[in-house]
């Protein structure tokens, strides 16, 4: 007999606690195989396909596309051992005799077999034959392994699309409050908002962040009047008191204002930049360099090897050589130990703009790669960033970052360091400018280079020496050959 198993959003690693459903790859009634991708989700690191460790018939899906779910929330249920929807309906448990208020809510667009709350089955001999074990996002599920079990913190609603109920202490009492996001609960706690008094505007009454923010705004606008207005001697009980005068509309309430949630990649970038600006005492130095000879050397390299070597790869090769001479800038600061940790390998990040925002893929062991290898890896990671297929491992672990803002047609910038790194080299556009060359005024190809560095890891002398060496290699590529 078929057995219904519940598959939850797995632990995605890299400190990630939630993910947004981008696209469902299966529908209710579909037959899925073990390790088959069933949903595409976007985390704060990347967009990944999540494989299901069970094989059978999909009986329920949880969450519409665009819904953000925490790790451990139900994704779908699978009737293991069923080969068609008819078998799956027979495997579903009988509905409860007493329906809860939430069970009476309208059913979602794609409901499972009528009425039942999916059963989380224990690992049995029959189930283990149809499951592969723990899910590793982006890598399949591997050989059979013991499945991790999580303690359910709240009962599931009978509606597949209903959010899990989280118990939120309010005024010393605990009870079910329809809140999924831990950020919403934290925001309410920090501002003293009673979640029991809110009516959620989300699906099935789910309390969203905007609901809490509106409650905070109402409290802020009503607090002054409550202090200044004298209390009446006796409040009438038969009729409610007059409604207060409407508060001035907040900027976000005006027509035409758009609210863009800071989540996914954009939210992760915001958090990292905020932390960097808060923790790192950064400084910036810059220099103009004559890149005419560098461009000529790149043309000669392309003609010799028959493959196009990108300008970013040439700068990366110069950068790794400069870091070998100034290893202080390839480091991080351990605040707990009050130590500067110098790193032996250069894992070179580079800023790339995509439709979903800024991402910084990382080229591993860049110090050991040739210009051709660097160019190929930059191209591969850039394409993966544009298509949204970068893995969390390709977006983390960088030790130094290159930022080529010249592609946007600008000359200079003072970027924010990619925490927890210690420095970032910026490259402006290369444009023809008047330049004194060999004692005479000439038109040369000039680029502005900037170095933003953590002043805790080095002083201006080290940073200036690094940047000067990079500029010397740009102006005279033979300098790089002498140091290899």
| Domains in the chain, CATH or no CATH each | 3-128 (2.40.50.100), 165-226 (4.10.320.10), 265-483 (3.30.559.10)
For residues 330 and 397, give the distance between their C-alpha atoms in angstroms, rounded to a whole number.
12
DSSP letter at 321 equals H
pLDDT at 19 over 80: yes
Q: How many residues does the chain have?
A: 484
What six digits make up the tokens of 166? Answer: 């989280």
| pLDDT tens sequence across 324-363 | 999 999 999 999 999 999 999 999 999 888 877 778 999 9
Catalytic residue among 191, 217, 419, 455: 455
Residue 438 in tokens: 């060999």
The DSSP H or E segment spanning 448 is strand 440-454
Q: pLDDT band at residue 203, thresholds of 50, 70 and 90?
A: low
pTM: predicted TM-score of the whole model, two decimal places: 0.56
Output the pLDDT for position 176: 56
Instruction: Select the more confidently predicted residue: 187 or 41.
Output: 41
What is the spatial distance between Cα 187 and Cα 173, in angstroms, rounded to a whole number?
19
Position 313 scores a pLDDT of 95
Peptide bond into 420 cis (omega under 30): yes
Which residues 6+ apart lie within 8 Å of 228 measured at CB?
Answer: none
- By CB atoms closer than 10 A (0-12, 13-18, 19+), residue 195 is buried
Alpha carbon distance 439, 61 (integer Å): 73
pLDDT for 159: 40
With b for 16 or more beta-carbon neighbours within 10 A and e for fewer, the 123-153 pattern comes to eeeebeebbbbebbbbeebeeeeebeeeeee
CB within 8 A of 178, min separation 6: which ones? 163, 165, 200, 202, 204, 205, 206, 207
Please give the pLDDT value at position 174.
Answer: 45
| Mean pLDDT value across the chain | 77
Of 145-159, 168-182, 237-251, 368-382, the range with the highest mean pLDDT is: 368-382
Q: pLDDT digits over 326-336, tens only? A: 999 999 999 99
User: Alpha carbon 129 to chain centroid distance?
Assistant: 35
CA dihedral 360, 361, 364, 365 (to 10 degrees): -40
Q: Note the pLDDT tens digit of each residue in 289-306.
A: 999 999 999 999 898 877
DSSP 113-148: SSSPPPP-PPP-HHHHTTB--S-BTTTB--S--PPP
Instruction: Please write the tens of the pLDDT for every residue from 89-138.
Output: 665 554 433 333 333 334 444 444 444 434 443 334 344 444 555 454 44
Provide the pLDDT for residue 298: 93
Structure letter (DSSP) for residue 457? T
Q: Give the pLDDT of residue 462.
A: 96
The reported pLDDT for the residue numbered 189 is 80
| pLDDT band of 230, cuts 50, 70, 90 | very low
**Cα 427 to Cα 350: distance, rounded to the nearest angstrom:** 11
Q: Which two tokens stand for residue 466?
A: 């690094």
- Tell me: the pLDDT tens digits for 429-470? 999 999 999 999 999 999 999 999 999 999 999 999 999 999
Catalytic: 347? no
Separation of alpha carbons 49 and 39, rounded Å: 6
């Amino acid at each position: 007999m078929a057995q219904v198993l519940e598959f939850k959003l797995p632990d995605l690693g890299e400190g990630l606690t939630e993910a947004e459903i981008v696209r469902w790859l299966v529908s209710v009634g579909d037959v899925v195989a073990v390790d088959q991708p069933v949903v595409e989700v976007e985390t704060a690191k990347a967009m990944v396909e999540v494989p299901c460790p069970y094989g059978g018939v999909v009986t329920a899906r949880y969450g519409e596309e665009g819904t953000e779910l925490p790790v451990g929330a139900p994704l779908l249920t699978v009737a293991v051992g069923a080969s068609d929807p008819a078998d799956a309906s027979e495997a579903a448990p009988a509905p409860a005799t007493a329906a809860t208020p939430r069970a009476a809510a309208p059913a979602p667009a794609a409901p499972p077999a009528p009425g039942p709350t999916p059963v989380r089955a224990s690992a049995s001999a029959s189930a283990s034959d149809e499951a592969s074990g723990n899910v590793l996002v982006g890598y399949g599920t591997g050989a059979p392994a013991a499945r991790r079990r999580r303690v359910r913190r709240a009962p599931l609603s009978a509606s597949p699309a209903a959010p899990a109920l989280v118990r939120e202490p309010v005024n010393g009492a605990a009870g079910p409050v329809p809140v999924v996001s831990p950020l919403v609960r934290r925001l309410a706690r920090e501002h003293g908002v009673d979640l029991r008094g809110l009516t959620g505007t989300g699906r099935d009454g789910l309390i969203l962040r905007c609901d809490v923010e509106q409650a905070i705004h109402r409290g802020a606008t009503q607090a002054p009047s409550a202090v200044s207005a004298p209390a009446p001697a006796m409040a009438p009980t038969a009729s409610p008191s007059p409604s207060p005068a409407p508060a001035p509309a907040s900027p976000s309430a005006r027509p035409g204002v758009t609210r863009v949630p800071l989540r996914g990649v954009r939210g992760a970038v915001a958090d990292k930049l905020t932390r960097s600006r808060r923790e790192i005492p950064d400084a910036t130095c810059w220099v103009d360099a004559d890149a005419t000879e560098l461009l000529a050397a790149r043309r000669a390299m392309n003609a010799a090897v028959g493959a196009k070597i990108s300008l970013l790869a040439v700068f990366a090769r110069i950068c790794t050589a400069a870091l070998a001479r100034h290893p202080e800038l390839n480091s991080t600061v351990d605040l707990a130990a009050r130590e500067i940790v110098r790193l032996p390998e250069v894992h070179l990040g580079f800023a790339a703009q995509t439709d979903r925002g800024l991402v910084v893929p990382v080229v591993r062991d860049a110090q050991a790669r040739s210009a051709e290898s660097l160019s190929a890896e930059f191209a591969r990671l850039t394409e993966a960033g544009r298509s949204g297929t970068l893995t969390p491992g390709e977006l983390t672990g960088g030790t130094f970052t290159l930022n080529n803002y010249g592609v946007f047609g600008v000359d200079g910038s003072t970027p924010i360091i990619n925490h927890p790194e210690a420095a970032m080299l910026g490259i402006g556009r290369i444009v023809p400018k008047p330049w004194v060359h060999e004692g005479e005024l000439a038109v040369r190809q000039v680029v502005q280079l900037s170095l933003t560095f953590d002043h805790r890891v080095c002083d201006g002398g080290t940073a200036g020496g690094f940047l000067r060496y990079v500029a010397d290699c740009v102006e005279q590529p033979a300098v790089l050959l002498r140091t290899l």
